[in-house]
Structure 1
Amino acid sequence: MHLWRSGHWGKSYSIGFVVIRISKKQPLNSQTVQYTFDLLVTRPCNEIDSFQTPFFYSGKQKQCVQEKHQQELSEYPRDCFEIFQRSKGNSRDGLYIIQPKEDPIVVSCNMQDGGWTVIQHITANSTVDFDRTWQDYKYGFGSVHDNHWLGNEYMHQLTSGSVRYILGVKLVNLDAEIKWGQYEPFLIENEESQYRIRVGLYQGNATNALTLDTEAYLHDNQKFTTKDRDNDNYFQNCAKLEHNGIPGGGWWYDACAGANLNRRNVIYWQKDCNKQRLCKFAWMMIKPIDHSLSYPPKSCPCPKVEL
């Protein structure tokens, strides 16, 4: 089942066993739109388990949801980990609706590893263009089930509340080997602060590319830079600098980068992913600190692939 981020406001669209009504209060994840879900389920009510499907059903569907779930479904969960908790660990990977603040958004949840909310995913040589404007990076772009940027504003909303978050970075090279790193805590400041990134203590088997200046670049405490808003510490705009004709894309540059997961032709993470050591996939994901467990980097479901 694919969820396309387009449509006409106020119309209803059937996707699989649901009907989605799309509305717009403000720009959400860029092409993403804001979603209001009025779900029409064609299966019998006794077959519906909202915690076992890749969508979290809305409270408006009370006439067809088991009575014991009605109170829980009156609001959307804050993040993927809350869904994971409510399901007692039985949720599946997929797309879910969360509500970090006033407006609900659709996110990809990594449930097999304990309820991580994916905020970025890129495949090397992706067809999704990461050379975007400030506004695009603010509200997000791409396909939520594939290569995408969730949106700086939503990262801020998720990480700026009373709950502190941890950032996980997952890298997969051409031999299907996993590198994993995590930063505790993780915070994205507001737009007035240019969506500055703040990361804490590091652990993992990947290089510490955000806070260890092995290449004379520190990404922690840097403002976000895009091709139309230069906040970096270089005399040129780092987001515009090209490698084989492909610009760097938006990122928390220093002057310029010891890491950059948004350059679509070369995923860069110091010695782990670069022009000589090619990586195929990268993910950034978050979950609450108190419930974060280290990702087991012993196996990878990804087949060996070639660029």
Structure 2
Amino acid sequence: MIYSFCLLCCMISAGSGTYNSGYLKTKVIPELEECSSTVFNDPLSHSTSLNVISCGVECSSDETCRRFMFDSQTNQCTLFDSGENCITDETIANKVCYRQEFVCNEKNCSRCPIGYYGDQCQHIITDCGNVSSTITLPDRYMLVFIRPSDAGPVLEVKCLGKKTIIHHRTKFCHDVDFNRTWAEYREGFGKVHGEYWLGLKHVHKIIQNNGQECTLRVQLHFNPVIQAVQYQSAVLTNQSDSYRILLSGSNARVNETDYLTGGAYSIDGRPFSTYDRDSSGYSCPGRFNGGWWYPENVNCSLINPVGRRSYDGSEDSFRWDDLQLTSTQFYALRLFLSC
């Protein structure tokens, strides 16, 4: 998480009081032209403003706004309901992005960045399910700030209601290379608006915070079918035990595929492997081009959620195999953690 020292302040009057709104300048990130804005975040509104201050006032006046982007060439002001950075498929040189730090009156701060709470926005939730009475996360995708560890960093994650998305892949936009080191898989990487891996140490901490009582949902999008399986208990051991995963309580029905714990391809009890710390026994991270809890099987895994998007039938493609090892490519894949 990188914060800029540039702070924009806007004064607005509402009802009987005056409110001070603070904004931190963040990044404008270029996106591929063919990408849809719905991939990274739907805007609340588009309008024309005189300048960046006017755009900030407009955001402050909208109770659902937490971020805005201003284009000095077109004077277009775009408001968003959450998030840190702004994504665009247009020229970024004339655009600026600000995310809200606070909205306060003379007594307290009534509107904080999503994930923060308290009269001075001094507290932060540990995961999407760790909500305060002052925070309501709607049952839709939102960008939310969390801090799994008191001494750890603030993370921006994607939430679906009370579910924390710990891994997100899609065929379109933000093509992230998942052939990473052990340290990168431990710390996390990628772009929260597109594809990302939250980080093994953060997932371990979230589960630990909740007394090892978390549910893992695996959701696969084939075009146009969505398939999912849920595990009522998901536990991740610590780094010294190679972040071994323990899964139980699958809700897969008879004749449905249990993607992770079914038969000879079960990952239950398996350590995490990367190309520089391989516990698979069959060089699976190198063959699949990514880190994962690989079964102890010569075919490595039926599912490759960290594979490459180019589909040529090879082991390292972003795909799922049936029991006859016939490959089908994903449209998208998400791992949800509910605690």
Report the TM-score when normalising by structure 1. Answer: 0.69
Q: 2:194 aligns with which of 133, 143, 146?
A: 146
In 2, Cα distance between equivalents of 1:275 and 1:147:
25
Q: Where does 1:195-206 land on structure 2 (aligned, <5 Å)?
A: 195-204=243-252
2-side partners of 1:74 and 1:58: how far apart?
14
CA change 1:172–1:152 in 2 (3 A) is same
Cα separation, 2, equivalents of 1:273 and 1:182: 23
Distance 1:80 1:208, change over 3 A: same
Counterparts of 2:235 and 2:250 in 1: how far apart (Å)? 14
Give the match's secondary structure for 1:160. helix
Q: Percent identity?
A: 24
Equivalences for residues 88-107 of structure 1 within 5 A: 88=136, 90=138, 92-102=140-150, 103=152, 104-107=154-157
Show the counterpart of 1:116: 163
2-structure distance, mates of 1:273, 1:264: 21
Q: For residues 119-134 of structure 1, what are the structure 2 equivalents within 5 Å? A: 119-124=166-171, 127-134=175-182
C-alpha distance in structure 1 between counterparts of 2:23 and 2:118, whole Å: 18
Query: 1:274 deviation in Å?
Result: 7.0
Aligned amino acid, residue 173 of structure 1: F
CA contact (8 A) 1:58 1:74 kept: no
Code of the residue aligned with 2:330 in structure 1: it is: C
**Compared CA separation, residues 65 and 53, structure 1 to 2 (3 A):** farther
**Number of aligned residues:** 250
- 1:161 is aligned to 209
TM-score by length of 2: 0.63
Q: What is the Cα-based RMSD across aligned positions, in Å?
A: 3.7
Shift of 1:87: 4.0
State the secondary structure of the residue aligned to 2:233.
Answer: strand
The amino acid of 2:155's aligned partner reads I
Q: How far, CA to CA, are the matches of 1:11 and 1:273 in structure 2?
A: 52
Whether the aligned pair in 2 keeps the contact of 1:120 and 1:284 (CA below 8 Å) is yes
SS class of match (2:308): coil
Structure 1 position 184 matched with structure 2 position 232: yes
Q: Which residue of 1 aligns with 2:271?
A: 223
In structure 2, do the counterparts of structure 1 residues 91 and 70 end up closer, same or farther at CA, with 3 Å as the change threshold?
farther
Report the CA distance shift for 1:224/1:20 in structure 2 as closer, same or farther (over 3 A).
farther
Q: Give unpaired runs (5+ residues) of structure 1.
A: 23-39, 242-246, 289-307
Post-superposition shift, 1:189?
1.2
Higher RCO (Cα < 8 Å, 6 or more apart) = 1
Contiguous gaps of at least 5 residues in structure 2? 9-21, 28-52, 67-79, 85-98, 310-316
Pair 1:262 & 2:316 matched: no
